[in-house]
Amino acid sequence: MTPPQDAAPKPPKYSVDLESMNLPRKRASSPASSISSLPSFRTSNPSLHKLFESTASASGSRPGSGSATPTASVAPASIFSGLRNGAGTPGSLPPGVSDEHRTLIQRAFAPHVVVLADVETEELIRGKGFEGGLLQLLRPFGESVPGKVTIRDSVGASKSYEDFGVRFVGVNESLGLPSMPGREASNGKRDSSRVSSSSIRPRRVGGDVSQIEELVDRHLQYSEFNTQDMVSDYMNQGEPQLQGSATSSPFYSLYLRRLLSGLPLVPHETFAHPVAGVIAISSRNTNPIEELRRLYSRQHDGDLRFPQWVENDFLRYYVLIHDEETGDIAKSNQTFDSMKRHFGLHCHLLRLKSQQCIPSDDDSVRLPTCEWMSASEELAEIQKRELADEITDPTPYLPDSDTTAIRTFIRELVAQSIIPNMERAVSTWNEQVLARRRGLSGRFMSLSKRWTSFGSSRSSSSSIPSANSNYDSLQGFYRPDAPEALMRKLADYCFMLRDYKLGLSTYDILRTDFQNDKAWRHYAGAAEMAAISALLTTGPQSSKTRTENIDSWIEAASYSYTDRQRSAAPYYALRTLALGLELLRLRGSSAADDAARWASRILETGLVGAVGTSLFTERISACHAVRNGIGALKLGSRRRKAAFWAVLAAESWWRMGKALQAEKCIDNALRLYGTQNDAGPVQLPYRDMQAFIDNMRQQILGLRLANRGLRDDEDSEDGDPIPGHTVVEEATESLDILPRAHRKSLIGAVAPALALEPLSPRVETAAELKDDHFEGV
């Protein structure tokens, strides 16, 4: 038959497609040539390896997600589990589905805490080897608060969570979307003495889809070129890989995690708005109380103030950092007492050692890797380690007593200050704002607002905020003390405290209000969060509410994020659809159909680049696969659809030159096609299909050999996919030759230019600047 042979001339066409994608990095057309231009694939850099390894494994199985069902293989006994018609709760998962992504989503929306330290503190911390100052020291520890955190929801029921966390952020550094450059300049008055300002670092803010794609591509390439021999893979090949559909690929988890990392500070949602602020001074400071006051006033209405749509009167937490080695503890205690007298209970004395710690020290602990760093940060980190030639790990170490002190501090900060404060705010706003809006008079108010706005002349309403609407349509935000803004904050607090019921009802009210005000981005945000909190609520949902409410909310949110406005926000549309799809998939059964529908919406609207396309195609397959049929014939299953999409995913990976992923997909597809007989090779129904699959398998094998630095012309000729002894030979040979070739290219005279070539310009300059700064210290 002709088509499989026709598949061969495809690559040129697709390579053109690839270049038209908005990937910032120039792709070399063949993987073999791109590997030679990348300095990254030296197996001799253990720290780099550790970085890739840690991210991939962390995203694969979270230790924190203790409640996740073990990823059991699909048991044949599950045939008779009834078709639940999408009414499943996330608590009762279909067999073989882990709620890894649900946990991920819950953890992603965490309260943000802004960190501000005086000059002496920053010096002290930098003396310990943390160039990023106090923020760098605190950040990894804040991501998971040790021990259980108990939260009371609006009805008074307490619930404990193991995986609660907060995000420590710098002042103003997560401001705005990357696509809004004007904002940065307008309030970019930064203090030059604050060294950790974001101008010289990679942006800690996420929200840039192209960077996420680039990062995941980096990880993919690393896995592509640094896996163990093909031999072991072929040894494993005979075994059925049953977990293939149950757990998602680690790269998808990574994609999702980076999508949710570093939420930008924007007017239309308050997740990134600070819930609390840590103000730290050092015991070396001669005038501590004055310094605290000064820092507070700078943040409250001085040069470090947040933009005017951010509520400025958030909780302040005062920390005195005591230097264990040079400081006098009696004096520090005295200072701390006076701090408590002046500022109340929200104070802490943090005792740190000021000396630099090295890995060989007795009780030294490596600073944990940040799990929720933004894509640009991780890219910069990768590049830094690639360019660093030494074998040693650049990650700073710190003594064990310090980690204990920091953990205690964070636990106290979260459990005794932040959460009670948020709970109090929720109940206050619930009584004062929400109840009034919900009550009879509130309904009349919102009605009369709508009617009078027709009556009054609309001519002047665009320039000034009209008397009826609190929305400033010119600048696109609500003032932080407007009832709408407070309600949004209330709903977001509920969401962060995982009280999804109250959150849902508030988002629902807000949705109509924002719609009346024509605040489209706010409207989209409310609809998005309404859908997500409805899906996160643990409780059965009839398929009717699901189709009527959630679908229309997701639809409205994705539409309003992309189309309705002049400035579209595709990042948020992607977030809406991706989160909706994951949570729907967990509900199993017919909800999985909707999940697949939203996933194909992502592909159709072109919200993602090449990497995302492949990942989401794979995901559609997983969505279909999650649906089990009933009865012995498995009626209503989507096995064939899943297999079809797996084939599509394999093709898409192959086009990108990712042989490992393509192979995984095609194995998965064949497993889905041939569930009846697991023994022996399965013949596909059509001869065309079989030929297509065989052909693709062969091409993938060729690509894989090419990725290992071999010419594929003689290897892909022998059609049998298991050329055992030749493979052994090739693998050892490649291990022998490749590193040496790269060494040579690095040592050569043109090495720096060559090494910097694949970097994206932004990150490159950031890395350079960072290096300069490091030398200066």
Partner 1 sequence: MSYYFTIFSPTDTPLYTHDFGTSRSGGDGIPHFTSSERALAPFILHSALDIVEEVQWGASTSSGSAPMYLKHIDKYANNFVSCWITGANVRFLLLTRPRDEALGLSGTTGGSRGSLAGGRSGLTSAGLYNPSAPATEEAVKNFFVDVYEIWVKTVMNPFFHAGNGDIVKSPVFRARVGAAAKKFL
Q: What are the residues binding partner 1 (CB under 8 A)?
A: 2-4, 6-7, 10, 624, 635-641, 643-645, 647-648, 685-686, 688-689, 692
Pairwise CA distance, residues 438 & 505, whole Å: 10
- Integer distance in angstroms from the first to the last C-alpha of the chain? 68
Q: At its nearest, how many Å lie between partner 1 and the CB of residue 574?
A: 20
- Closest CB to partner 1 among 636 and 721? 636
> Which tokens hold the place of 364?
């030294």
Q: Specify the residue, 201 or 638, whose C-beta has the smaller distance to partner 1.
A: 638
| Shortest CB 671 distance to partner 1, Å | 15
Q: Which is nearer to partner 1, 444 or 686 (CB)?
A: 686
Q: How far apart are CA 517 and CA 604, in angstroms?
A: 30
Which tokens sit at 101?
């992504």
Strand partners, 284: none
Question: Could you tell me the smallest distance in angstroms from the CB atom of residue 669 to partner 1?
Answer: 9
Q: Residue 494 or residue 647: which is nearer to partner 1 going by CB?
A: 647
Q: If you count them, how many residues does the chain have? A: 777
For residue 708, which phi and psi values (nearest 5 degrees)? -85, 5
Q: Is 156 left (phi over 0), alpha (psi -120 to 50) or beta?
A: left
Distances (CA, A) of 664 to 221, 222, 236, 260: 15, 16, 12, 26
Report the distance separating Cα 713 and Cα 77, nearest Å.
47
CB closer to partner 1, 273 vs 587: 587
Nearer to partner 1, 337 or 688 (CB): 688
Q: Which amino acid is at 161?
A: Y
Tally helices (H) and strands (E) across the chain.
33, 11
In the bound complex, what is the minimum distance in angstroms from residue 98's beta carbon to partner 1?
Answer: 24
Q: How near is the Cβ of 694 to partner 1 at its closest, in Å?
A: 12
Rounding to the nearest 10 degrees, give the CA dihedral for residues 571, 574, 580, 582.
Answer: -110
Evaluate whether 704 touches 666 at the Cβ level (below 8 Å): no
Q: Which residues pair with 115 in a beta bridge?
A: 278
- Within its chain, how far is the Cα of 678 from the centroid? 37
CB-based contact 234:667 (threshold 8 Å) = no
Check if the beta carbon of residue 224 is closer than 8 Å to that of residue 401.
no
As measured in angstroms, the least distance from the Cβ of 686 to partner 1 is 4
Give 640 or 743: the residue with its C-beta nearer to partner 1: 640
Q: Return the closest-CA partner of residue 564 out of 511, 515, 603, 531.
A: 515
Is the dihedral angle over the CA atoms 452, 484, 505, 626 positive or is it negative? positive
Q: How would you write 463-530 as a 3-class SS string?
A: CCCCCCCCEECCCCEECCCCHHHHHHHHHHHHHHCCCHHHHHHHHHHHHHHHHHHCCHHHHHHHHHHH
From 524, 520, 481, select the one nearest 310 (Cα to Cα): 481
Q: Which residues of 408-429 are buried (b: 16+ CB within 10 A; e: fewer)?
A: ebbeebbbebbbebbbebbeeb
Rounded to a whole number of angstroms, the minimum distance from the CB of residue 619 to partner 1 is: 16
Residue 719 beta carbon to partner 1: minimum distance, rounded to whole angstroms: 18
**Locus of tokens 């790990």:** 393
**Cβ neighbours of residue 461 closer than 8 Å, sequence gap 6 or more:** 453, 469, 473
Q: What's the min distance (Å) between Cβ of 595 and partner 1? A: 15
CB of 656 to partner 1, least distance (A): 16
**Which C-beta is closer to partner 1: that of 570 or that of 636?**
636
Q: How many CA atoms lie within 13 A of 280 on its CB side?
A: 29
117 backbone φψ class: left, alpha, beta (φ>0; ψ -120 to 50): beta
Query: Cβ neighbours of residue 563 under 8 Å, at least 6 residues apart?
Result: none
Name the minimum Å distance from CB 530 to partner 1: 29
Note whether 589 and 627 are within 8 A (CB). yes
Of 9 and 455, CB closest to partner 1: 9
Q: Which residues of 697-715 are buried (b: 16+ CB within 10 A; e: fewer)?
A: bbbbbbbbbbbbbbebeeb
Nearest Cα residue to 766 out of 198, 64, 97: 198
At closest approach, how far in Å is the CB of 590 from partner 1?
10
| Measured distance CA(356)–CA(399) in Å, rounded | 9
Supply angle C-alpha 140, 111, 204, rounded to 5.
55
279 within 8 A of 294, measured Cβ to Cβ: no
**Rounded Cα gap, residues 595 and 547, in angstroms:** 12
Q: Is the dihedral of CA 55, 59, 63, 65 positive or negative?
A: positive
In which residue are the tokens 């939203």 written?
598
